[in-house]
Structure 1
């Protein structure tokens, strides 16, 4: 039984000590209701998700982003080697996904890489990681939602209609004032998430099945016009172009870690989270590569430059049937809605975990006893994301999201190494194969892809980190619950940590 003694508040803990203070894993598990006592200090998230729903959350948050939204902008960078770019980005993501699988089985709580780094590297790194996740989740939702206007227009064009530019594009685009379809998609996802995780997971599963079926339909039709000659000059922009495209397309794999934010809503998180993460990566990478090969086989790579909603246009040109394009456009809108729903879900759970630790305001951690969801946090985040989606262009968002994600993924790879060395006796339901090579390669790949991002993206990232530092020193440092524990309380909780070295008398258990 893990009992949490009342914290003795200690203002003025030295900065260096506070930044390095780790959150005891036993305390994390107890707060999540997965500890030995399973006690509850208030309304908790409801455990209603099995391995199928978790896999669909991961697939739903990932599949479609690069294909439906970013493909047209990435092909001019890599040329016919775009499928290699997908493979490189997918390999980099898989290395990190394997590390996520181990950490999700060892630390089965909400918070994803934020919680993993808090348990291993201390509050300072955890804050940086959490701040990166805010960038990753919230901004990626907005970035994906931005692309919905293109496909809504493709749907309307079947009937000879189109949205006015003023409500179909953000400021800065020709005639644009507000991307209304993007706002609408985010608001609908926000409303659904407020109702409950089980209901959201069911709707997401239906949407994932629809978008997989639509992508398979595209592959089948595009291969009827396949021309091997389109691949004769495989890398017209050189390896540098392929690498630049891979860095941008890494954005397409953002989302597989959404399943790890469901640690407190999974029925059996230690067993099911690793399975869901690995299964989703296999599904996603396979479909991405098939779609990329089919698209280049059907059209020369130069055709994609400046082309919006490229896959819909390919279908319409190949079949000459506007209704076929309508079906695909509907599938694309469903795919975008699925991504928005699941990634927004992950964002609210990240902020809930940070709020529980006192690093962000308490409002983000309030769980409704009626719905079992963080209603207030969902409404706040959803509203902010809706405004961003309606007012900010896609390209700037996508690159900014990639750098924050890569940084967080690198930290998770390092967390695996740290936890293996410092706490070898921690029970693990999944172990990274070829340790330590796999997490080392995962870290190197993340750094490599970050280095290929443009200087403007790095400036945005630096500015975001400065804002994060101001937020931490202005609020988090003074409200941190772990920092407020007295030395005796902290040592007591650490002794209850299942990751700690066992006493000699318990060695044979």
Structure 2
């Protein structure tokens, strides 16, 4: 985890714009007529079925991306779940498929511009590739700013287009239209229909590409799944409604041979607009769609070589981050590869061949969810969990396999060739350089084989990067923490564990000796070193209890061996870790994920370079707690008759109207710490520790002011 990190600067609408922009291009503006030739008027149903069948992979990707929000998306997930060899196949295949799809989109953009302008398509596509490549180098935020403009224009025009089309259809004789345009519904029977489902399925493939920029997403647990769900809902609505309109208004034989069916249909029902305004709107929407696919494609595709270089599967220069916060070498390589395909190949034909590989990746992503869950890695902590596990994933894998067989021999051969190249590259370049096996080895461990401990460490690092969830009680745990401010310089680690165990046992009504034994047995070490003069010891109890913590400050350095340390021997200490702070955490086993997130966030706070200096200088228990709390969400007030807190004197805590969801966590009275209850009566001189949202704490600060 020592590589350069990408800045988290993308929000919900950035995710939505990238996912939506990656889906709309040839699938809507070029493909419907070709698909209708296979199944007839039922083509709009084929788009609906394909969208629904994309849901298993969408749910799987949302779960995996929230558990592992790292650059490289599909590659990174497959690598960490199924191992680096399969990861290399996924990395090269994902990059190649997305490069081809993006290049094809820019050709389509040139084709639609050709409706109004006499321009050479390939040179225009090359210029556009360079423009989008430069924009991606400038910065992710700038790239997604353009993406949001393009997607907003696309969706706005498409909504107008669909509303006008439906109004036109329903203002005519609906029964007659259905009879003439939709009969027979399935011209080639079930075989033709399911072949069409496979053909249009790849129209939704761009949805999962958003995972490749997951590392740059703020609040990934919320924004990634919500952005993907909103995106696929938009896509299904536009695809199904739009194609239904095309079937209804276009003459069947004309529709099936039309490569610009959206524009042709628009001419039929938007003729009331002046001049060629209707067609112009469609062209603008098409240009926005193809441009957004090309733009998002370069952004997403460039993260694959970045992630592979971080993992030593490519030259480390591909992982270099520019001063703009973008992977400049990876972007340049992706841009040049797109230009190469545009110049050297018939991109439309090669892009079709990549469809089978995308389906293979879909199958692997569904398998990855099963592997990660069955590995029982505690640090696997997705912010979103796929419903109907594992049946949804099994359906997704079966459907992907069936569709791959429908893709034809050339597409399957293309997939095999790319896979063989990737495996060859792995053994030629990377084998022996890397020491990881993937989560599948944890599944092996349950069968008596070895597991990949390095993956557990990496997942803990991801937990630190992700941070806390909104409902994690970190502030409550720290603000109520028991503080042991040790004054003696003559003490052992065993003594500290005993004191912490006794205090926690008293608060949680547990057996102190049993708790002591658990702390001693943790990882068979006695302490988990964090560096910066601090260590954590933590246990989980098989009981329903809240998380509780003990903070220990040591006046002089305590040398504690953190490897093979015999904690039961008071005289045996090593020279491994000089400690000034030790933290003991107890949680319920039922909240394993929350326990790990609290530990990860605690480690993040301790890692601050100013932590140990503030820790040594703190004058009392309250200041020790405040060091670990976010200042804007915590306040300590003293009840006095000379300021606005006087209104609290004599009131029970249940009677106090605190702003928002604020909570009194600690009451200090006459030097003693008390856990407040609803019936506790506030007295003058009491000190209250309160946690809450930023705006609520700012209101409570007003209580400390003196009335004028």
Q: TM-score, normalised by structure 2?
A: 0.60
- Change over 3 Å in CA distance of 1:153–1:498 after alignment to 2: closer
Question: Are the structure 2 counterparts of residues 300 and 476 from structure 1 closer, same or farther at C-alpha, using a change threshold of 3 Å?
Answer: farther
1:9 is matched with none
Pair 1:371 & 2:324 matched = yes
Q: Flag as ranges the 4+ runs of structure 1 deviating above 6 A.
A: none
2:372 corresponds to: 419
> 1:352 aligned to 2:306?
yes
Q: What's the secondary structure of 1:286's corresponding residue?
A: helix
Q: Which has the higher helix share?
A: 1
2:419 corresponds in structure 1 to 465
Who is 2:125 aligned against?
Answer: 182
Aligned position for 1:506: 540
CA deviation vs aligned residue, 1:57-88 (integer Å, no higher than 9, x gap): 11111133411132232221121111121122
CA RMSD of aligned residues (A): 2.3
Equivalent position to 2:249, from 264, 281, 298: 298
**Aligned equivalent of 1:361, options 290, 300, 315:** 315
Report the CA distance between 1:506 and its aligned residue.
Answer: 3.3
Residue 339 in structure 1 maps to residue 339 in structure 2: no
User: For the Cα contact (< 8 Å) 2:150–2:292, is it kept in 1?
Assistant: yes
- Structure 2 portions without partners, runs of 5+: 170-176, 438-450, 462-521, 524-537, 542-587, 589-594, 596-708
Question: Any stretches of 5+ residues in structure 1 without a counterpart?
Answer: 1-30, 32-40, 157-161, 169-178, 484-489
Aligned to 1:236: 187
**How many aligned positions are there?**
444
TM-score under structure 1 length normalisation:
0.82
Q: Is the contact made by 1:82 and 1:292 (CA closer than 8 Å) also made in structure 2?
A: yes
Distance 1:408 1:492 in 2: 26
1:279 aligns with 2:236: no
SS of corresponding position for 1:506: strand
Structure 1 residue 401: Cα displacement: 2.4
Secondary structure at the residue paired with 1:147? helix
1:440 paired residue among 378, 385, 394: 394
How much does 1:99 deviate?
Answer: 0.4
Alpha-carbon distance in structure 2 between the residues aligned to 1:390 and 1:219: 36
Q: C-alpha separation between the residues in 1 aligned to 2:298 and 2:74?
A: 16
Distance (whole Å) between structure 1 residues aligned to residue 70 and residue 26 of structure 2: 26
CA separation in 1, counterparts of 2:40 and 2:54?
Answer: 22
Cα distance in 1 between the residues matched to 2:128 and 2:311? 31
2:149 to 199, 206, 209: 206
Cα deviation for residue 390 of structure 1 reads 4.5
Distance, in Å, in 1 between the alignment partners of 2:456 and 2:51 is: 40
Using the TM superposition, give the Cα deviation of residue 307 of structure 1 relative to its aligned residue in structure 2, in angstroms.
1.6
Q: In the alignment, is the contact (CA less than 8 A) between 1:367 and 1:375 conserved in 2?
A: yes
Question: Do the aligned residues in 1 keep the contact of 2:83 with 2:436 (CA within 8 Å)?
Answer: no
Deviation at 1:377, TM superposition (A): 1.4
Question: Do the aligned residues in 2 keep the contact of 1:414 with 1:439 (CA within 8 Å)?
Answer: yes
Q: After the TM superposition, which of the residue ranges 289-298 and 253-262 deviates more from structure 2?
A: 253-262
Aligned to 1:26: none
Cα deviations across residues 172-227 of structure 1 (Å, max 9, x unaligned)? xxxxxxx1222222222111101100111111001101011222232233335532
Quote the Cα distance in structure 2 between the aligned partners of 1:495 and 1:151: 50
Which has the larger displacement, 288-297 or 460-469?
Answer: 460-469
Q: State which of 56, 78, 84 in structure 1 corresponds to 2:39.
A: 78
- Judge conservation of contact 1:357–1:482 (CA < 8 Å) in 2: no
- Candidates 28, 46, 51, aligned match of 2:7: 46
